[in-house]
Amino acid sequence: MGAAWTEKEVVHLLNRTGFYTSKTDIEACLSLGQAETVRRLVAGESLTGKTVSLQSITELTADGKEMKADSIGDQQTYWLYRILNTEAPLIEKMTLFWHGHFSTSFSKVNDIPLMLRQNELFRNYALGNFHELVLQIGKDPAMMIYLDVNSNRKGKPNENYAREVMELFTLGIGNYTEQDIKETARSLTGWSYDRKEGQIKFNKGQYDAANKTVLGETGAFNETTVVDVFFKQEALPQFIAKKLLKWFATDEPPQEWVDLVAGDVSKDQTIGEVLTKLFMSDAFYNPDIQGALIKTPIEYVAGILKAFNIPLSKGFTQSARKMGMELFLPPDVAGWRGGTTWLMTTNLLSRFQFAESIAKRLNNNLLTSKEYALDPLSKPEDYVRQYAQNAGVWNMGELSAKTLAKYANDTFVYAKQKNNGMKGLLQLIMISPEAQMK
Q: Is 18 helix (H, G, I), strand (E, B) or coil?
A: coil
Q: How many domains does the chain have?
A: 2
Q: pLDDT > 90: what percent of the chain?
A: 98
Q: Of 233, 249, 280, which residue sits at a domain end? A: 233
Range(s) of the domain holding residue 354 = 297-436
Q: Is 294 helix (H, G, I), strand (E, B) or coil?
A: strand
**Same-domain status, 312 and 408:** yes
**Can you give the pLDDT at residue 416?**
86
Residue whose C-alpha is closest to residue 336's, from 95, 134, 106, 104 = 104
Q: Is 63 helix (H, G, I), strand (E, B) or coil?
A: coil
pLDDT in tens, 57-115: 999 999 999 999 999 999 999 999 999 999 999 999 999 999 999 999 999 999 999 99
pLDDT in tens, 2-43: 679 999 999 999 999 999 999 999 999 999 999 999 999 999
Please check whether residue 257 lies inside any domain of the structure.
no
**Same-domain status, 310 and 418:** yes
Global pTM? 0.97
Point out which residues pair with 66 in neighbouring strands: 61
Q: Of 190, 213, 233, which residue sits at a domain end? A: 233
Please check whether residue 62 lies inside any domain of the structure.
no
**Can you give the pLDDT at residue 306?**
98
pLDDT in tens, 50-65: 999 999 999 999 999 9
Please check whether residue 179 lies inside any domain of the structure.
yes
**Same-domain status, 308 and 425:** yes
Q: How many CB atoms lie within 10 A of CB 151?
A: 13
Please check whether residue 238 lies inside any domain of the structure.
no
**Can you give the pLDDT at residue 1?**
52
Instruction: Annotate 361-389 with DSSP letters as a single string.
Output: H--HHHHTSGGG---TT--HHHHHHHHHH
Segments of 40-188 assigned E as strands? 61-62, 65-66
**Same-domain status, 331 and 426:** yes
Q: Of 191, 206, 233, which residue sits at a domain end? A: 233
Please check whether residue 260 lies inside any domain of the structure.
no
